[in-house]
Amino acid sequence: MKKKKFLVLGHPRSGTGFTAELLRQFGYNVGHESMGVDGISSWMFAVDEYQVFIDPKIRRPDFDFDYIIMCVRNPVDMISSVYYTENLSPFSLNFRKKYVNLDGLNNIEVAVKSVLEWYRLIELQRPHLKLRIDRDPELKLHAFLKRFVNPQTAPIPKLGKVNTRKHNELSLEVIIEHCNPALREELEVFCHLYEYRLSFNRQ
């Protein structure tokens, strides 16, 4: 088992590419879906299987990581991006279907359920840092690194958008309208858990 410093986990379109680049700005060689000297940022490493993208020869059980960082962003933005981009990739969708039961759901419910269940898998691994990439991630990662990894960590960088894709947007209202009641409740709990104060109309 090879020893590495960082493992960054998230769901597709959650900011794993951004977080990998941010760690590189702090001086750590962390690859995005490829293994760097200091670790990897890959949503596929949430499970004990070989990757399906970039480097299919690597798998989670072959590595041991000092720190697990979970990245997340606004659930509406994430679900919208998954719906319009990631779920159109059979490789990505079929990989997630091995671990998340998406049978009998409409296309929007598939995006929602995939996000919720993938983060449950990540939470079971007790991440050391939960990084909301749309809430001052540079400051929060800097504080974490300085306290737990290296007190002489690099100065705080300012990072723009990374690995963005142009697509249409779903609103929270549209997502709620197309979700069954149980899934709507799960999504609301998810939003509160990560402190995204979105308005769920109870009328």
pLDDT of residue 129: 98
Average pLDDT of span 39-66: 96
Q: How many domains does the chain have?
A: 1
CATH number, domain containing residue 137? 3.40.50
- Per residue in 107-142, pLDDT tens? 999 999 999 999 999 999 999 999 999 999 999 999
The answer to whether residue 175 is domain-embedded is: yes
Spatial distance between the Cα atoms of 138 and 165, rounded to a whole number of angstroms: 22
The answer to whether residue 10 is domain-embedded is: yes
Average pLDDT of span 21-27: 96
Average pLDDT of span 189-202: 87
Say whether pLDDT at 203 is over 50.
Answer: no
The answer to whether residue 7 is domain-embedded is: yes
Distances (CA, A) of 84 to 68, 137, 161, 169: 28, 25, 18, 8
Whole-number average pLDDT of the chain: 94
Contact present, 23 and 7 (Cβ < 8 Å): no
- Per residue in 62-91, pLDDT tens? 999 999 999 999 999 999 999 999 999 999
Q: Model's pTM, two decimal places?
A: 0.94
Q: Cα angle at 4 between 61 and 23, to 5 degrees?
A: 120
The answer to whether residue 202 is domain-embedded is: no
- How does residue 202 score in pLDDT terms, banded at 50, 70 and 90? low
**Out of 55-59, 110-114, 163-167, 169-173, which region has the weakest mean confidence (pLDDT)?**
163-167
Full domain range(s) for residue 45: 2-193
- How does residue 168 score in pLDDT terms, banded at 50, 70 and 90? confident
Distance of CA 82 to the CA centre of its chain: 11
The answer to whether residue 159 is domain-embedded is: yes
Structure tokens, 164: 């963005």
Strand, coil or helix: what is 53? coil
Percentage, residues of the chain above pLDDT 70 = 99
